[in-house]
Amino acid sequence: MPALAIAQQKNKNYLSREDISQIAKIFDVSESYAYGVATFYTMYNIEKVGKYHIQIDTCVSAFLVGADAILARIEKKLGITAGQTTKDNLFTLSKIQDLASCGTLPVIQVNNKYYENMTIKKTEALIESLKAGKMPESDNSQNIVSECKILLKNRLNPKAKNIDEYKKSGGYQALNKALAMMPADIVGKVKEANVKGRGGAGFSAGIKWSFLPKDDPRPVYLIANADEGEPGTFKDRQIMEYDPHLLIEGIAISAYAITAKTAFIYIRGEFGWIADILEKAIKEAEKDGQLKHLTIIVHRGIGSYVCGDETAQIESIEGKRGNPRVKPPFPANLGLYGCPTIINNVETLSCVPFIVEKGAREFKKIGVSGSFGPKIYGVSGHVNKPGVFEYPLGTPLKTILKTAGGVKGKLKAVIVGGLSVPILKADEIENLNMDYDSCLQANTMLGSGGIMVINDTVSIPELALRTIEFYAHESCGQCVPCREGTQLVKSRLKGLIKGLGTKEDIDLIIKTCQTITGLTLCPLGDAFAIPVKSMVSKFRDEFESLVKY
């Protein structure tokens, strides 16, 4: 995959068939295999693109804050529609699914650069500047509040990227302490701290580690899951971009604990500049003698949401299409290159230095019973000050929303854990605390902690359509219920919105989602079936009001 990426880079951002065949020959794989990989990932351009490839995030959070208007303006200004290239080959315009910039929306990606906090006026200026051949500076400012000062403690220090600065505030002390401990003791500590996976599943990291087979001759791999793609989620990038050594230290300790000699950071390809920052920080850490026990490799994804799934991510690192594997076997037994593998989210791994340094007991003082430690919540949508906020688990949603400047307009609904969790109506969030158990009790999930706030200007059927469009776009296409089920639900939602739907269509959507839940090969089926079903059943009257026949 990196070879295909390099070929594209060297050829005006275009991946030609000749290059794909050539690479297939070099790596001794079939042409169809190479072409299959090249056409799976969205960042490979198998069609020629203009000098400036403008991509606008139109996914759910962006839709909430008016990305469509910006898209319309660009279309008008360039005289092309999304998916087209201008005649002078200067611009290609595309719609893109979630760019993990939900706190700084609307966002436009030009080639490899993010332009965040866009307005119509700024967009006009951007296009003018590009026409004049200049990539302007971008304003990527972001609201940050860190109450715990653990995961985001260095977020506002622009120098923290530097290892010396990181060490000044106690950095790498936890690693030194860890290296003097027995690996099993570290696993024990992490288990005791009961740090639950921050990527979305909420599975205890320590327990996951203890699934590794004992006395196995195969090498163990650690993968830091930095494929942040869950719509509404933009937390891991705060750590990686501004405090990369925190993650590296977390990886270094965790790898030592599980006896991995090689670790990967699988970072989504759109975060190219953050991958550069990580690579630089790894070099610094190596030079500083922190990584004598470990090699860390930054592996860039090439555009696929499903590669956030553990087994799809493994396939992707192995250079294949990002198709999730059938489980069992689980990665702890049969993971990367057929070896025991542990995959943890960036935020999870970043909790590890604190646990080692201060102890599991200190960690458990933060948060509430069953949900310990700090959590980064990202708030996007209809709030006055969207941003990322580090609070203890169990913090009332209302407190977080208040920090985010309060709701803009009249609150209608909230999606509290990234797009894959059931939506909550305004009255259901009244006393909601943001921890794993409270969210379950409220019939939703904490997920990734990506909070999307929806006011009463939003049509829930439109929101449901955006939701299903995202998952349909990201479905790997392997299994029938997901590949075809997304199409069925999408077609029915489109029909309803066009005024061509019936009440039976509403029932069909609910029934289909219900049947698909638990039926697919990987969790992506549940990820769309559960939220869409909740949107339709909780706001059924809105859907019914669209029925004309």
Partner 1 sequence: MITKMIIDDKEVPFDQGQTILEVARANGIYIPSLCYHRKTGQASKCRICVVEVEGMRGLQTACSIQARENMKVVTTNDEILTARRLIVNLLLASGNHDCLACEANGVCELQEVAYKLGIEKPAFIIADKEKPEYDDSSEMIVRDIKRCIQCGRCIEGCNKTVVNEVLDFGYRGHETKVICDDDKIMGESSCVQCGECAQLCPVGAITDKKSIGKGRPWDLKKVRTTCPYCGVGCQLYLHVDENTNNVVKVTGYEGSLANDGALCVKGRYGYDFINSKERLTTPLIKENGKFRQASWEEAINFVASKFNSIKKESGSDAIAGLASAKVSNEENFAFQKFMRKEVGTNNVDHCARL
Residue 512 as a binder of partner 1 (CB under 8 A): the answer is yes
Question: What is 333-355 written as a DSSP string?
Answer: TS-GGGS-EEEEEHHHHHHHHHH
Residue 21 as a binder of partner 1 (CB under 8 A): the answer is yes
Instruction: Find the binder of partner 1 among 51, 473, 538, 540 (CB under 8 A).
Output: 473
Q: Which residues within the stretch 362-391 sit at the binding site for partner 1 (CB under 8 A)?
A: none
453's CB contacts (< 8 A; 6+ apart) are 64, 379, 380, 381, 382, 383, 401, 404, 407, 408, 411, 414
Q: Which residues within the stretch 298-327 sit at the binding site for partner 1 (CB under 8 A)?
A: 304, 321, 326
Residue 244 as a binder of partner 1 (CB under 8 A): the answer is no
Instruction: Find the binder of partner 1 among 5, 36, 157, 537 (CB under 8 A).
Output: 36
Residue type for 64, please?
L
Determine the Cα angle at 542 with ends 536 and 548, to 5°: 110
Q: Find the part of the chain contacting partner 1 (CB under 8 A) among 77-85, 377-385, 439-447, 481-489.
A: 481-489
Residue 444 as a binder of partner 1 (CB under 8 A): the answer is no
Q: In this structure, how many other beta carbons lie within 10 angstroms of the beta carbon of residue 55? A: 23
Residue placing its CB nearer to partner 1 in the complex, 348 or 467: 467
Residue placing its CB nearer to partner 1 in the complex, 149 or 498: 498
Instruction: Find the binder of partner 1 among 1, 7, 15, 20 (CB under 8 A).
Output: 20
Q: Which two tokens stand for residue 348?
A: 């999870």
Please, what is the minimum distance in Å from the beta carbon of residue 44 to partner 1?
11
Please, what is the minimum distance in Å from the beta carbon of residue 518 to partner 1?
4
Residue 39 as a binder of partner 1 (CB under 8 A): the answer is yes
Residue placing its CB nearer to partner 1 in the complex, 297 or 480: 480
Residue 494 as a binder of partner 1 (CB under 8 A): the answer is yes
DSSP code of 383? B
Mapping DSSP to helix (H, G, I), strand (E, B) and coil, where does residue 53 land?
strand
Instruction: Find the binder of partner 1 among 50, 478, 531, 532 (CB under 8 A).
Output: 478
Question: What is 144-192 written as a DSSP string?
Answer: EEESS-SSSTTTT-TTTTSHHHHHHTTTTHHHHHHHTS-HHHHHHHHHH
Residue 48 as a binder of partner 1 (CB under 8 A): the answer is no
Residue 467 as a binder of partner 1 (CB under 8 A): the answer is no
Contact 68, 58 (CB under 8 A): yes
431's CB contacts (< 8 A; 6+ apart) are 396
Residue placing its CB nearer to partner 1 in the complex, 255 or 334: 334
Residues touching partner 1, count (CB under 8 A): 42
**Residue 172 zone, left/alpha/beta (φ > 0; ψ -120 to 50; rest):** left
Please, what is the minimum distance in Å from the beta carbon of residue 464 to partner 1?
16
Residue 508 as a binder of partner 1 (CB under 8 A): the answer is yes
Contact 219, 339 (CB under 8 A): yes
Residue 506 as a binder of partner 1 (CB under 8 A): the answer is no
Residue placing its CB nearer to partner 1 in the complex, 452 or 476: 476
Q: Find the part of the chain contacting partner 1 (CB under 8 A) among 48-56, 61-69, 396-404, 477-485.
A: 477-485
Question: How far is the C-alpha of 76 from the C-alpha of 81, rounded, in Å?
Answer: 8
Contact 78, 123 (CB under 8 A): no
Give the strand pairing for 260-267 and 295-300: parallel
Please, what is the minimum distance in Å from the beta carbon of residue 21 to partner 1?
6
Instruction: Find the binder of partner 1 among 257, 476, 529, 532 (CB under 8 A).
Output: 476
Please, what is the minimum distance in Å from the beta carbon of residue 25 to partner 1?
12
Residue placing its CB nearer to partner 1 in the complex, 129 or 491: 491
Phi and psi for 254 in degrees, rounded to 5? -65, -40
Residue 477 as a binder of partner 1 (CB under 8 A): the answer is yes
Q: Find the part of the chain contacting partner 1 (CB under 8 A) among 156-164, 257-265, 353-361, 517-525.
A: 517-525
Please, what is the minimum distance in Å from the beta carbon of residue 333 to partner 1?
14
Q: In sequence order, what E strands does 48-131 have?
A: 52-57, 91-96, 108-110, 113-115
Chain-centroid distance of CA 435 in Å reads 19
Phi and psi for 447 in degrees, rounded to 5? 50, -130
Residue placing its CB nearer to partner 1 in the complex, 189 or 321: 321
Instruction: Find the binder of partner 1 among 457, 515, 545, 548 (CB under 8 A).
Output: 515
Please list the residues that pair with 450 across neighbouring strands: 378
Instruction: Find the binder of partner 1 among 30, 121, 215, 289 (CB under 8 A).
Output: 30
Q: Which two tokens stand for residue 522?
A: 């990987």
Residue placing its CB nearer to partner 1 in the complex, 241 or 484: 484
Chain-centroid distance of CA 431 in Å reads 27
Residue placing its CB nearer to partner 1 in the complex, 49 or 257: 49
Residue 268 as a binder of partner 1 (CB under 8 A): the answer is no
Contact 228, 268 (CB under 8 A): yes
Mapping DSSP to helix (H, G, I), strand (E, B) and coil, where does residue 141 land?
coil
Residue placing its CB nearer to partner 1 in the complex, 248 or 464: 464
Residue 481 as a binder of partner 1 (CB under 8 A): the answer is yes
Mapping DSSP to helix (H, G, I), strand (E, B) and coil, where does residue 299 land?
strand
Question: How far is the C-alpha of 300 from the C-alpha of 136, rounded, in Å?
Answer: 25
Q: Which residues bind partner 1 (CB under 8 A)?
A: 17, 20-21, 30-36, 39-40, 304, 321, 326, 472-481, 483-488, 491, 494-495, 508, 512, 515-516, 518-521
